[in-house]
C-alpha cells in the first residue's frame, strides 16, 4: 500500500523515536500511519514473530484495524479479541499464535494477562485521549504495559481541557512528565475562586462561594510546550496535506419547536432553573452541570416526559439484590413525537436523491428518526450502542456502496473510526458538549476519498439552549486548538 508523501514523512521522522504522539487531524489516515510505522520498525530491527504488537482501540474500530493490518501486513498473524471469549486471546498470547493483538479499551482492567505478557515490541493506543483521567482503572492498567516502542494516536490528544494532555505525556515519557501539578501550573491558565462572605475576587466572577475551587480558562507558555513536544509529536491538517480534498461548509438551521414539544421544554427549563438556583453558590463540577443540561437538550430534540421505571442495580442477583431489594425506582426520560427536528430532517431527505448522514447525541432520538424514515419508505441504516459489533463493518460497507440513502447514528457510536465518504451532507440534530467528538463525527465524511464539498448542517431549536451551547462548544475548541498548535499555512 503506497503512502502519501506526508505519511511517509511521519514514518521517517518517528521510526527511531521510542515514544511518539501522532495528532494528525481526523481523516489523514492515522491507522495507516501507525501500521506503516510498525512495519518500518520491524524491518529496521529485523523483529522475529515473537516480538508482539498490541493495539488498544475503541470497540467500534477493531474490525477496521484488523482489515488494515491484513491488507498492509499479510504475513503477520493478527488476533482480535472476542468480547464473548477473552480466553481465546489469552491462549494465543501465551502460545505465540499471533504477532499483532487488537483489543478494546475497557478490557484492559479485566485482562491482567496483557501486562503480565512481558515486554511488548510496540504498544499503539488509538484515541489515546481516553487515558486523560489519570486516576481511572483503565488508564492505570494501560500504563502498566511495558513496551520498547509506544505510539499514541488522537486528533485531539487534549480531549476536553488543556490539562488532559498530561496523562498522555506521562505514559509516553514518565520520567520527563512526572508531576501533574507541575505541568498544570506551567501550561494551564486558570483562576482560583475563593470562599467567604465577600464577593469572589476572581476576574468577572462577583459571586459568593462556599468553598475554594479552580477554573481552567486557557493555555500558558504555548510556544515552550510546543518546543518540548516537537521531537516526538506530529500534527498536520487536512487542508495543508490534502490539497485536492474538497472544502467543508457549515450551516445552522433554526427550527421552531412544535407547540406540544415547546410546552414540555419550558417545564423542564423551569425545573433546571430551580436546580441552578439551589446550587449557584456552590462550586458544582462541570459534569454535574452538563448532566442536568443534557436532559434539557433532549427536550429540544423531541417531545419528552419523565416516567418512573424500575432499574436493577448491577449487583442485583435474580429477583433480589445483595441489599435485599427487588428494584430501584428512578426517573427516566421518555422521548416521543412530535419532533420538529425530525420533521426538518425528513424534509431534507425527501428533497434530494443523494445520501445523507444524520447524527444525534441520544439513541432515543435516532430510533424515533429511523422509525419515521422507514414509514416514509426511505432506506436507512442505524449505528448506535445497541448495534452488534459484528454488524457494524458490514453496515458501513453497505452504506458506502449506496444500499442505503440515510445513515443514522449516535455521535458516540458512529462518530469515530469509520468512513462515510459516500455522502457529502451530514446533519447534526444536536451536538455533544465535547468539541473533539463533534469534529470527529464531521470528519467521517471529510476525509481521504471524499470527492465533493461537505455540507455540515446543525439544527438549532428556536429559543432553546442549542445556540448558546454551540457557542460554548466553539470556545472550548479554540482553547484546545491553541494547545495543539494547530496552524494553517499560507
CATH number of the domain that 46 lies in?
Answer: 3.40.50.10810
Helix (H) or strand (E) holding 333: strand 328-336
pLDDT of residue 324: 47
pLDDT the model gives residue 321:
47
In terms of residue numbers, what domain contains 350?
A: 248-258+339-465
**Is residue 296 in a domain?**
no
Q: So what's the pLDDT on residue 317?
A: 46
Q: How confident is the model at residue 475 (pLDDT cuts 50, 70, 90)?
A: low
Both 131 and 254 in one domain: the answer is no
Largest CA distance in the chain: 70
Q: Out of 50-64, 94-108, 273-287, which region has the weakest mean confidence (pLDDT)?
A: 273-287
Q: What is the CATH number of the domain that holds 396?
A: 3.40.50.300
Instruction: Indicate if 253 and 156 belong to the same structural domain.
Output: no
Please give the tally of structural domains in the chain.
2
Same domain for 158 and 13, yes or no, is: yes
Q: Out of 1-15, 134-148, 475-489, give the one with best mean pLDDT.
A: 134-148
> Which residues is 251 bridged to in the sheet?
457
pLDDT at 134: 92
310-314, 329-333, 349-353: which has the minimum mean pLDDT? Answer: 310-314
In angstroms, rounded to a whole number, what is the distance separating the alpha carbons of residues 414 and 383? Answer: 6
Q: How confident is the model at residue 477 (pLDDT cuts 50, 70, 90)?
A: low
Rounded CA separation 484/176 (Å): 19
**Summary mean pLDDT of the chain:** 85
pLDDT for the residue 322: 46
Residues 165 and 253 grouped into a single domain? no
Residues 252 and 161 in one domain: no
* pLDDT, tens only, 149-177: 999 998 877 766 788 899 999 999 999 99
318 — pLDDT class (breaks 50, 70, 90): very low
Examine the domain organization and report whether 16 and 158 are in the same domain.
yes
Give pLDDT, residue 323.
Answer: 47
Taking 90 as the threshold, does the pLDDT of residue 373 lie above it?
yes
Q: E strands along 361-445, which residues?
A: 380-383, 406-410, 425-428
What is the Cα–Cα distance from 439 to 293, expressed in whole angstroms? Answer: 21
Average pLDDT for residues 205-219, to the nearest whole number? 71
Nearest to 149 by CA among 28, 73, 47, 295: 47
pLDDT at 163: 87
Q: Please give the residue that has the higher pLDDT: either 102 or 352.
A: 102
Task: Count other C-beta atoms under 10 Å from residue 369's C-beta.
Answer: 27
Residue 210: closest CA among 268, 265, 280, 111: 280
Q: Is 32 in the same domain as 164?
A: yes
What's the pLDDT band for 246 if we cut at 50, 70, 90?
confident
Q: Name the nearest CA neighbour of 21 among 104, 113, 127.
A: 127
3-state helix, strand, coil in the chain (%, to 5): 40, 20, 40
Rounded to an integer, the average pLDDT of 286-307 is 79
Last residue of a domain, one of 206, 241, 276: 241
**pLDDT attached to residue 319:** 43
> Does 214 reside within a domain?
no
* % of residues, the chain, pLDDT over 90: 48
Instruction: Classify residue 107: in a domain, yes or no.
Output: yes
Question: Above 50 in pLDDT, residue 81?
Answer: yes
295 within some domain:
no
- Residue 348: which of 376, 390, 384, 322 has the closest Cα? 376
Average pLDDT of span 291-311: 80
Asked if residue 358 and residue 449 are part of one domain, the reply reads yes
In a domain, 289, yes or no: no
Residue 420 has pLDDT above 60, yes or no: yes
In a shared domain, residues 253 and 402: yes
Q: Please check whether residue 53 lies inside any domain of the structure.
A: yes
Angle at CA 248, nearest 5°, toward 242 and 251? 175
pLDDT at res. 67: 86
**Residue 86, in any domain of the structure:** yes
Answer yes or no: do 454 and 348 share one domain.
yes
How many residues belong to the chain? Answer: 490
- For position 200, what pLDDT does the model report? 67
Give the dihedral sign, CA 140/14/28/56.
negative
pLDDT higher than 60, residue 208: yes
Looking at the structure, do residues 118 and 253 belong to the same domain, yes or no? no
In whole angstroms, give the CA distance from residue 327 to residue 268: 26
Kindly report, residue by residue over 16-74, the tens digit of the pLDDT. 999 999 998 877 889 999 999 999 999 998 988 789 999 999 887 888 899 899 999 99
For the record, the C-alpha cell of 213 comes out as: 475551587
Looking at per-residue pLDDT, the higher value among 466 and 404 belongs to 404
Over pLDDT 70: what percentage of the chain?
A: 85
Cα distance between residue 207 and residue 280, in whole Å: 9
**Does 70 map to a domain?**
yes
Mapped onto helix, strand or coil, the DSSP state of residue 215 is: strand
Co-location of 155 and 34 in the same domain:
yes
Question: Comparing 147-156, 325-334, 422-431, which segment has the lowest mean pLDDT?
Answer: 325-334
Mean pLDDT within 381-410: 91
Amino acid at each position: 500500500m503506497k503512502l502519501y508523501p506526508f505519511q511517509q514523512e511521519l514514518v521517517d521522522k518517528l521510526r527511531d523515536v521510542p515514544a511518539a504522539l501522532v495528532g494528525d487531524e481526523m481523516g489523514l489516515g492515522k491507522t495507516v500511519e501507525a501500521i506503516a510505522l510498525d512495519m518500518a520498525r520491524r524491518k529496521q530491527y529485523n523483529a522475529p514473530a515473537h516480538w508482539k504488537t498490541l493495539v488498544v482501540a475503541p470497540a467500534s474500530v477493531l474490525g477496521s484495524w484488523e482489515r488494515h493490518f491484513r491488507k498492509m501486513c499479510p504475513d503477520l498473524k493478527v488476533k482480535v479479541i472476542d468480547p464473548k471469549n477473552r480466553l481465546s486471546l489469552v491462549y494465543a498470547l501465551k502460545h505465540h499464535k499471533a504477532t499483532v493483538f487488537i483489543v478494546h479499551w475497557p478490557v484492559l482492567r479485566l485482562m491482567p494477562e496483557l501486562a503480565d505478557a512481558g515486554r511488548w515490541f510496540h504498544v499503539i493506543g488509538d484515541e489515546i485521549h481516553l487515558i486523560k483521567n489519570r486516576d481511572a482503572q483503565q488508564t492505570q492498567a494501560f500504563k502498566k504495559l511495558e513496551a520498547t516502542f509506544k505510539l499514541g494516536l488522537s486528533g485531539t490528544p487534549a480531549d476536553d481541557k488543556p490539562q488532559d494532555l498530561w496523562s498522555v505525556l506521562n505514559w509516553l515519557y514518565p520520567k520527563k512528565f512526572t508531576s501533574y501539578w507541575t505541568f498544570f501550573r506551567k501550561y494551564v491558565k486558570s483562576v482560583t475562586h475563593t470562599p467567604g462572605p465577600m464577593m469572589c475576587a476572581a476576574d468577572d466572577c462577583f459571586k459568593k462561594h462556599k468553598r475554594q475551587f479552580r477554573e481552567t480558562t486557557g493555555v500558558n507558555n504555548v510556544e515552550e510546550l510546543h518546543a518540548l513536544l516537537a521531537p516526538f509529536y506530529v500534527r498536520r491538517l487536512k487542508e495543508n496535506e490534502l490539497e485536492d480534498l474538497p472544502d467543508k461548509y457549515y450551516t445552522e438551521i433554526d427550527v421552531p419547536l412544535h407547540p406540544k414539544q415547546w410546552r414540555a421544554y419550558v417545564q423542564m427549563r423551569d425545573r433546571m432553573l430551580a436546580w441552578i438556583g439551589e446550587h449557584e453558590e456552590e462550586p458544582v463540577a462541570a459534569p454535574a452541570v452538563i448532566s442536568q443540561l443534557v436532559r434539557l437538550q433532549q427536550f429540544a430534540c423531541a417531545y419528552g416526559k419523565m416516567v418512573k421505571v424500575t432499574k436493577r442495580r448491577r449487583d442485583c442477583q435474580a429477583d433480589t439484590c445483595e441489599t435485599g431489594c427487588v428494584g430501584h425506582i428512578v426517573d427516566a426520560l421518555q422521548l416521543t413525537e412530535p419532533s420538529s427536528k425530525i420533521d426538518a430532517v425528513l424534509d431534507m431527505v425527501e428533497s434530494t436523491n443523494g445520501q445523507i448522514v444524520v447524527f444525534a447525541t441520544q439513541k432515543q432520538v435516532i430510533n424515533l428518526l429511523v422509525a419515521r424514515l422507514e414509514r416514509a419508505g426511505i432506506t436507512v441504516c442505524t449505528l448506535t450502542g445497541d448495534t452488534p459489533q459484528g454488524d457494524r463493518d458490514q453496515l458501513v460497507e453497505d452504506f458506502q456502496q449506496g444500499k442505503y440513502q440515510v445513515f443514522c447514528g449516535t455521535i458516540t457510536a458512529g462518530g469515530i473510526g469509520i468512513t462515510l465518504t459516500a455522502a457529502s451532507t451530514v446533519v447534526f440534530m444536536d451536538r455533544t458538549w465535547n468539541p473533539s467528538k463533534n469534529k470527529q463525527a464531521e470528519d467521517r465524511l471529510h476525509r481521504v476519498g471524499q470527492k465533493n464539498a461537505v455540507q455540515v448542517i446543525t439544527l438549532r431549536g428556536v429559543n432553546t439552549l442549542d445556540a448558546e451551547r454551540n457557542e460554548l462548544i466553539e470556545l472550548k475548541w479554540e482553547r484546545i486548538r491553541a494547545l495543539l498548535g494547530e496552524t494553517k499555512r499560507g
